[in-house]
């Protein structure tokens, strides 16, 4: 991504987007991964990650945002994430408990990142689904906005 190709109208917004998008991504992923240890979780973290898509749109415009983010991949990922969630939730049934039951919960030391069994993976699946779903929706809505202007 060489800087000459990018046409931007407002350097303040672009600079702010450059600065905040990585923070949004890192914070979002942190919140998703630490859902079982700290406040927040899959949904909140997913929305934070998806806010990076908004920042890219604001800083660089719609075309750059659709080039950076593969809309079809987002759509497919959402279904894959939903299937992941169903699979981890069904693990509860395979391990002789109920649907959505947290299994392998006594692996690792309490307080560590990998210490909570499948609830961690379910949380991750929710986060993945929300970040792809909301990212896709945001791009879709901005696409509609663009069409109206043209």
Partner 1 sequence: MTQHLPILAIISLFIGAFIVSLIKEKNTTLRNTVVLIVTFASLIFTLMMYKPIIEEGNVLTYWMGNWEPVQNWAIGIGLEVDQLSLFFGLFISLSIVLSAMYSFKYIENETGKDKYYVLFLMMSASVMGFIFTGDLFNMYVMIEIMTFASVALTAFRNNRPEAVEAGFKYIAIGSIGSSLILLATVILYAQFHTLNLAQLAGEMYNNYTVASIFALALMIVGYAVKVFAVPTHFVAPDAYMAAPSSISMLFSGIVNKAAVYGILRIIYVVYQSMNLPTMQFLLIFWGTVTMFVGVTMALAQHDFKRLLAFHSISQIGYVITGIGLTTALGITGGLYHALNHTLFKGLLFLCAGAVFYATGTTDLDKLGGLAKRMPQTAFIFLIGAFSISGIPPFNGFVSKWIIYQATYEAGYAPVTIVALLVSVMTLASFIKVAQSAFFGQLPKEFKNVEEVPLSMRVPMWIMAILCVIGGIVPNIVTKYLVTPAANAVMNASRYVEAMMGKEFASKFYNNLGSAPVIDYKLAGYWQPISWLILFGVLLLAFTLVAVLGGFNPKHFSYADEEDAKYDVFFSGESSEFSHVAGSDLFWGLKYQFRHYFDFMHNIHSGIVNDYALSVVFTAAVILLYVFTFVR
Q: Is the distance from CB of 125 to CB of 88 less than 8 angstroms?
A: yes
- x/- string (CB under 8 A) for partner 1, residues 55-94? --------------------xx-xxx-xx--x--xx-xx-
- Alpha-carbon distance 150 to 144, whole Å? 10
Tokens for 15? 């600079």
Number of residues that bind partner 1 (CB under 8 A): 18
Using the minimum distance from each CB to partner 1, give the nearer residue, 92 or 108: 92
23 vs 90, which CB is nearer to partner 1? Answer: 90
16 φ/ψ sector (left φ>0, alpha ψ -120 to 50, else beta): alpha
Minimum CB separation of residue 100 from partner 1 in Å reads 4
We find the least distance from the C-beta atom of residue 119 to partner 1, in angstroms, to be 9
Lookup: tokens for 74:
């987002």
Residues from 15 through 44 that contact partner 1 (CB under 8 A): none
């Amino acid at each position: 991504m060489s800087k000459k190709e990018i046409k931007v109208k407002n350097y303040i917004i672009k600079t702010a987007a450059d600065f905040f998008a990585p923070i949004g991504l890192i914070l979002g992923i942190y919140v998703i991964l630490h859902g079982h240890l700290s406040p927040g979780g899959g949904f909140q973290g997913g929305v934070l990650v998806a806010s990076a898509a908004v920042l890219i749109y604001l800083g660089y415009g719609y075309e750059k945002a659709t080039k950076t983010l593969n809309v079809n991949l987002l759509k497919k990922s959402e279904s894959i994430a939903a299937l992941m969630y169903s699979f981890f939730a069904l693990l509860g049934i395979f391990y002789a408990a109920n649907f959505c039951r947290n299994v392998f919960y006594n692996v690792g030391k309490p307080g560590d990142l990998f210490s909570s069994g499948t609830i961690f993976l379910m949380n991750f699946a929710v986060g993945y689904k929300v970040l792809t779903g909301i990212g896709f929706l945001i791009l879709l809505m901005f696409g509609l906005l663009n069409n109206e202007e043209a």
